[in-house]
């Protein structure tokens, strides 16, 4: 469970451009939740993810993870339980290392990175099996550098690498936004599958309303640092893209966009 309690977040503090993003923002993410987060640019979606992951620090408030206060915990320490896939496919893989080396690197998460051989030969067949499930033919090119792969292939690998070791929370930061429609569809299918299989508590930020409606058990619409829509269960199932789009337009009129 992740709890955001009374979060205040300002940008450009002490300048004329000071902006208040969150003022007393509260959100509870229950175990097993699969939350789709939508909202216009600047509504606080990514800032919320950054606060949870620790790449941003709030001015006030607490972040509680499974009962433990992690408000001031370093980003890399939090990542033991959290896996994150970024919008940019380049963020989740190492371009100058081979597919096999990338898999080995990710497979060791949570353990010590000492002077043992980097690639465990006994695991190679398992890696090949995992890669073949992506259906992209990556299993036949394990010696190729990841930098030579396409964005979609890299994002599929990033998703696989993030979820191959036991984590509790999966953070998806517009992870299909940089992909073509067909690849985005594939990545979403893979995402749905892995979340279900591993029963991961997931927060997915997306600009694609259809994905937000189709996937996830709970939907949040952010606007100016508030969750103006928060629907779960049956209410969420009844939502459709048109209704959401209507709501979106209303917000846009209010803010003069």
DSSP 118-132: SS-GGGHHHHHHHHH
The count of chain residues that interact with other proteins, using the rule CB under 8 A, is 33
Return the residue matching tokens 């959100």. Answer: 27
For the bound state, the minimum distance from the C-beta of residue 113 to other proteins, rounded and expressed in Å, comes to 4
> Per rule CB under 8 A, is residue 121 in the interface with other proteins?
no
Task: Return the residue of 36, 104, 155, 202 that touches other proteins, per CB under 8 A.
Answer: 104
CA distances from 96 to 30, 65, 140, 145, 230 (A): 38, 34, 18, 6, 42
Q: Would you count residue 76 as binding other proteins (CB under 8 A)?
A: yes
Q: Based on the shown chain and the rule CB under 8 A, indicate whether residue 177 belongs to the binding site for other proteins.
A: no
Based on the shown chain and the rule CB under 8 A, indicate whether residue 16 belongs to the binding site for other proteins.
no
Contact call for residue 74 and other proteins (CB under 8 A): yes
Q: Does 86 bind other proteins (CB under 8 A)?
A: yes
Q: Rounded to an integer, what distance in angstroms lies between the CA atom of residue 234 and that of residue 246?
A: 20
Q: Which stretch binds other proteins (CB under 8 A): 33-41, 116-124, 191-199, 238-246?
A: 116-124
Between 135 and 174, how does the x/- string for binding to other proteins read (CB under 8 A)? ---------------------------x------------
SS3 172: strand
Asked if 208 interacts with other proteins (CB under 8 A), we say no
Burial 73-91 (b: 16+ CB within 10 A, else e): eeeeebbebbbbbbbbbee
Evaluate whether 228 touches 222 at the Cβ level (below 8 Å): yes
**Two tokens at 20?**
């208040």
Q: List Cα–Cα distances, 55 to 71, 116, 150, 245, in angstroms.
A: 11, 31, 27, 31
Verify binding: residue 39, other proteins, rule CB under 8 A: no
Contacts of 208 (CB under 8 A, 6+ apart): 176, 177, 184
**Minimum CB distance to other proteins smaller for 55 or for 255:** 55
Question: Closest distance between other proteins and the C-beta of residue 75, in Å?
Answer: 6
Binding site for other proteins (CB under 8 A): 74-77, 79-80, 83-84, 86, 90-97, 101, 104-106, 108-110, 112-119, 162
């Amino acid at each position: 469970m992740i709890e955001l309690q009374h979060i205040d977040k300002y940008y450009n503090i002490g300048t004329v451009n000071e902006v208040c993003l969150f003022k007393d923002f509260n959100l509870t993410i229950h175990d097993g939740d699969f939350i789709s987060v939508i909202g216009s640019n600047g509504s606080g979606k990514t800032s919320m993810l950054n606060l949870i992951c620790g790449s941003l620090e709030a001015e006030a408030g607490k972040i509680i993870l499974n009962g433990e206060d992690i408000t001031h915990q370093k980003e890399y320490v939090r990542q033991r339980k959290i896996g994150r896939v970024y919008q940019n496919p380049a963020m989740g893989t190492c371009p100058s290392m081979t597919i096999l080396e990338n898999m080995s690197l990710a497979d060791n998460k949570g353990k010590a990175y000492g002077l043992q051989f980097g690639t465990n030969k006994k695991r190679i067949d398992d890696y090949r099996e995992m890669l073949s499930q992506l259906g992209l033919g990556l299993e036949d090119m394990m010696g190729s550098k990841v930098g030579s792969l396409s964005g979609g292939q890299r994002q599929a690998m990033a998703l696989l690498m993030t979820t191959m070791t036991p984590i509790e929370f999966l953070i998806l930061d517009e992870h299909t936004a940089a992909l073509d429609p067909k690849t985005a569809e594939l990545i979403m299918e893979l995402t749905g599958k892995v979340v279900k299989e591993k029963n991961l508590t997931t927060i997915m930020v997306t600009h694609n309303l259809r994905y937000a409606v189709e996937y996830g058990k709970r939907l949040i619409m952010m606007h100016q640092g508030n969750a103006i829509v928060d629907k779960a269960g049956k209410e969420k199932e009844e939502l459709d893209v048109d209704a959401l789009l209507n709501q979106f337009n209303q917000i846009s009129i209010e803010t003069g966009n």
